[in-house]
Structure 1
Amino acid sequence: MDIRFLGGAREIGRSAVLVNDALLLDFGMATDNPPQFPVGDPDPEAVVLSHGHLDHVGGVPSLLSGDARPPIHWTPPTRDLTRVLAEDTLKLHGNSPLCPFTETEVKRLSEVSVTHGYRESFEAAGHEVTLYDAGHIPGSAHVLVDDGETRLLYTGDFHTDDTRLLSGTTARPDADVVVCESTYSDVAHDPRDEVERAFAESVKTTLWEGGTVVVPAFAIGRTQEMLMVCEAHDIDCYVDGMGQKVTQIVRQYPEFVRDPEALRRAKSNARFVTGRDGQRKRIADRNTVIVTTSGMLSGGPAMTYIPAIRANPTNKITMTGYQVEGTPGRDLLDTGRAEIDGQVMPVSARVESYDFSAHADREGLLAFLDSYRDVQVLVNHGDRCAAFADELRAEGFDASAPELGAEFAAV
């Protein structure tokens, strides 16, 4: 089996792995300025997508330009989420030469879509492929590829612990080679129940003091998790931004979440914001909680809420996910200031950060890989892939960290 790394090698973003020059696993984008896409200009016979996050599916419509029509295999949630992300990319970059696809290519996604459930084997570009629940976001999958001689397990992004939204992955299919993500290979997550409890106590304290709490959250996965946390701890909230549409999508697929009834209650507990007639500014003046995109303060309704609440030290901003260096969210955590809509603003409101990550931490990665001690492990999707591969070798694994563009012959 020939495995070529077109993206996501020793980096986070633009994940793409080409198998036997025929089967493409993921085709994402890195949200740099300008956006970065995988290298190599592949022309696959078929595509399999692990899950609906931009860094794994952001470039997919560009594969459908010209006469190219490779079938795209995915779970139903990943199909719908990819469409939402593609439409959002067109809104942001559609009039720019930086966007590699048009509305026409986005519409073609439905023409080539082939959906699958977990553990249902199917044929793609001459390979037998099976998807397994990865526990990362609704519809996320490990991808097992069998070419008749070698079995490749592409983990995608995964989580080994249960959250309110999803159960952690328990799948450990037999494989000869594993391409494993390593996002949090040097991090130990605090127990989720402790993180939840600290978040809820902090929010309730601010509300009791008369303040407003803005909860920046990623639209896919994190918004739904935060709504469920709020409902479970009897905290009323608003929800704004793309997370509203994603919540509606996820509710259509109850078999892809841990507790559909709990998600239903969470949606009922949250008030959806329309944004009409100055509604956001009025909500920002209320003694309430607002779960909103974007999770790193780089766009979305947060651009209205943060300026509206920033001057009052009774108010609070609770970050719920990793803040990439150089983003306004990271700047806010590090300096107490953030550039919002082109203007650097000092923030007097209290700023806190809570680790609601949907990735396996170091312990989770090692526990997962413990089932693959006798196979080749290729580390990708991380800021320290080479270091983690070194650490795995010291533990007896046959591990390496391919570089961007590298080709690997698995046996």
Structure 2
Amino acid sequence: MDVRFLGGAGEIGRSALCIDERLVLDFGMDSGNPPAFPIGDVDPGAVVVSHGHLDHVGSVPALLSGDARPEIHWTPPTYDLTMVLARDTLKLHGGSYDCPFTEAELARVAEVSETHGYEASFEAAGYEVTFFDAGHVPGSAHVLVDDGDTRLLYTGDFHTDDQRLVSGTTARPDADVVICESTYSDVEHENRTEVEKRFAESVKTTLWEGGTVVVPAFAIGRTQEMMLICDAYDIPCYVDGMGKQVTEMLQQYPEFVRDEDAFRRAKSHARFVTGRNGQRKRITDQKAAIITTSGMLSGGPAMTYIPEIRSNPTNKVTMTGYQVEGTPGRDLVETGSAEIDGRVMPVSAKVEQYDFSAHADRNGLFEFLDPYEDSPILINHGDRCERFATELQEAGFEATAPEVGSVETI
């Protein structure tokens, strides 16, 4: 089994692998400026997708150009999430170099899509493939690929701890080789309950003082997690941006969330923003949390809310996810200013950062890999892959960190 790394090796973004030039696992994009896509030409017999985040699915429709019609395999939520993201990509970048596919290629996705549940094996390009719940976002999967001689486990993104939205992964399928993500390989997450409590106390204090809290959040996973937390702590909240559409869609898949009743209550508790008739500006005067995209302040309704609330030090901005270097969100956290709609704005409102990550931390990665001590481990999806591979070697694992473009025979 030969594995070619088309992206995501030594980096976060554009995750993509090709097995024996026949089977592609994920085909994402890095949405930076400029965006980056998987390298090389591929003509697979089938595509298998681990989960519906842009860095894993953002370029998938591009595989359907010309006469190419590979089957695409994923869980039901991942298919729907991919379509939401792809339509948004077309809306933002259609017809430009920044968009890796066309409207016609996106339309073909439904024709070749095949959905599968967890632990139900299926055939793809001559391999036996099985999905296991990865505990990252609804529908996320570890992917086990078996060619009859070698069992390859591609972890995708995963979390070993429970979140309110999904339960942590407990799957540890037998595997001869593991390709493992390493996003938080040098971080130990604070206890999730303690993070929630600090967040809730901070928000409630601001609301009691008469302020408003803007909660930038990724549309897929994080928005819904913050809704669940607001409901649990009785925090009045609005929801805006793509997260509204994702929330509606996820209600169709109760079996892919941890607590269907809690999810339904959280949706009822939140007020969805329509954006009509100046509603957004009126909301900024409310004593409420506003959960909105974009999570890194690089677009979305946050561009309306931040300028409205920035000058009042009673107000607050609570960042809920990792802020990539060079994004307005990272600038805001580090400098107290951010470029919003083309101009740099100082923000007098308090800015706080919370770790609500949906990825396993260092301890979680070691815990997950423990059963695979006798199997070669290939480290990807991280910006410190080599260092983590070295640490695994020191702990007794056979671990390496491939580079983009490299081919590993396993």
Deviations 1:260-319 (A, max 9, x none): 100000000000000011110010122211000000000000000000000000000000
Secondary structure of residue in 2 paired with 1:215 = strand
Distance in 2 (CA, whole Å) between partners of 1:257 and 1:19 is 31
* Counterpart check, 1:127 vs 2:124: no
Tell me, yes or no, if the aligned pair for 2:95 and 2:102 is still in contact at 8 Å: no
- Corresponding residue number in structure 2 for 1:100: 100
In the alignment, what sits opposite 1:138? Answer: 138
Deviation of 1:368 after TM superposition, in Å, equals 0.3
SS of 2:158 mapped into structure 1: coil
Deviation at 1:369, TM superposition (A): 0.4
Report matched runs for 1:273-292 at 5 Å. 273-292=273-292
Query: Could you say which residue in structure 1 is the equivalent of 2:61?
Result: 61
Quick one: distance in 2 between partners of 1:265 and 1:98? 39
Paired amino acid for 2:150 = T
| Residue 99 of structure 1, CA deviation | 1.4
Q: What is aligned with 1:309?
A: 309
Deviations 1:107-145 (A, max 9, x none): 111100000000000000000000000000000000000
Q: Output the amino acid matched with 2:217.
A: A
Structure-1 separation of matches of 2:330 and 2:54: 19
Residue 268 of structure 2 is matched in structure 1 by 268
Q: SS of the residue aligned with 1:276?
A: coil
2:409 is aligned with 1:397: no
What does residue 156 of structure 1 align with? 156
1:406 is matched by which residue type in structure 2?
S
Identity over aligned residues, as a percent? 75
Distance in 1 (CA, whole Å) between partners of 2:382 and 2:249 is: 29
Give the Cα–Cα distance (whole angstroms) in 2 for the partners of residues 107 and 298 of structure 1: 27
Q: Pairwise mapping of residues 1-12 of structure 1 onto structure 2 (< 5 A)?
A: 1-12=1-12
TM-score, normalising length: structure 1: 0.99
What is the Cα deviation at residue 17 of structure 1?
A: 0.6
Amino acid at match of 1:188: E
CA RMSD of aligned residues (A): 0.5
Alpha-carbon distance in structure 2 between the residues aligned to 1:95 and 1:264: 38
Q: Distance in 2 between matches of 1:261 and 1:288?
A: 23
Q: How many Å apart are 1:98 and its aligned residue?
A: 2.8
Does the Cα contact within 8 Å between 2:131 and 2:144 map onto a contact in 1? yes
Matched with 2:210 is 210
Task: Give the C-alpha shift of residue 92 in structure 1.
Answer: 1.0
Query: Cα deviations across residues 361-403 of structure 1 (Å, max 9, x unaligned)?
Result: 0000000000100000000000100000000000010000000
Equivalent-residue separation in structure 2 for 1:50 and 1:95 (angstroms) = 27
**1:135-160 alpha-carbon deviations (Å, 9 max, x no partner):** 00000000000001100000000000
Counterpart secondary structure, 1:286: coil
What SS does the aligned partner of 2:162 have? coil
Deviating 4+ runs (over 2 angstroms): none
Write the letter of the residue equivalent to 1:174. D
- What is the deviation of 1:14? 0.2
Residue 39 of structure 2 aligns to a residue whose secondary structure is coil
Corresponding residue for 2:351? Answer: 351
Counterpart residue identity of residue 28, structure 1: G
Q: Which residue of structure 1 aligns with residue 109 of structure 2?
A: 109
What corresponds to 1:88 in structure 2?
88
| 2:261 aligned counterpart, secondary structure | helix
**What is the distance in 1 between the residues matched to 2:179 and 2:152?**
8
Q: Distance in 2 between matches of 1:225 and 1:286?
A: 22
* Deviation (angstroms), 1:165: 0.5
Following the alignment from structure 1 to structure 2, what is the Cα–Cα distance between the partners of residues 232 and 97? Answer: 44
Which amino acid in structure 2 is aligned with residue 242 of structure 1? M
Aligned equivalents of 1:66 and 1:397: distance in 2?
44
Q: Secondary structure at the match of 2:299?
A: coil
TM-score w.r.t. length of structure 2: 0.99
**1:100 deviation in Å?**
1.9
SS of 1:203's equivalent in the other structure is helix
Distance in structure 1 (CA, Å) of the matches to 2:237 and 2:95: 36
1:358-373 equivalences in 2 (<5 Å)? 358-373=358-373
Query: What is the CA deviation profile of residues 340-359 of structure 1, one whole-angstrom value per residue up to 9, with x for unaligned ones?
Result: 01010000000001100000
Which residue does 1:15 correspond to in 2? 15
Aligned counterparts, 1:251-262, within 5 A: 251-262=251-262
CA deviations over 1:38-93 (Å, ceiling 9, x no partner): 00121100000000000000000100111100000000000000000000101111
| Matching residue of 2:386 | 386
C-alpha distance in structure 2 between counterparts of 1:287 and 1:272, whole Å: 16
After TM superposition, give the deviation of residue 229 of structure 1 in Å. Answer: 0.2
One-letter identity of the residue aligned with 2:316 = K
Q: Distance in 2 between matches of 1:100 and 1:139?
A: 24
**Residue 138 of structure 1 aligns to which amino acid in structure 2?**
P
Query: Secondary structure of the equivalent of 1:193?
Result: helix
CA distance in 1, matches of 2:10, 2:81: 26
Q: Report deviation, 1:95.
A: 2.6
Q: Report the equivalent of 2:192.
A: 192
The whole-number CA distance in structure 2 between the counterparts of 1:288 and 1:245 is 21
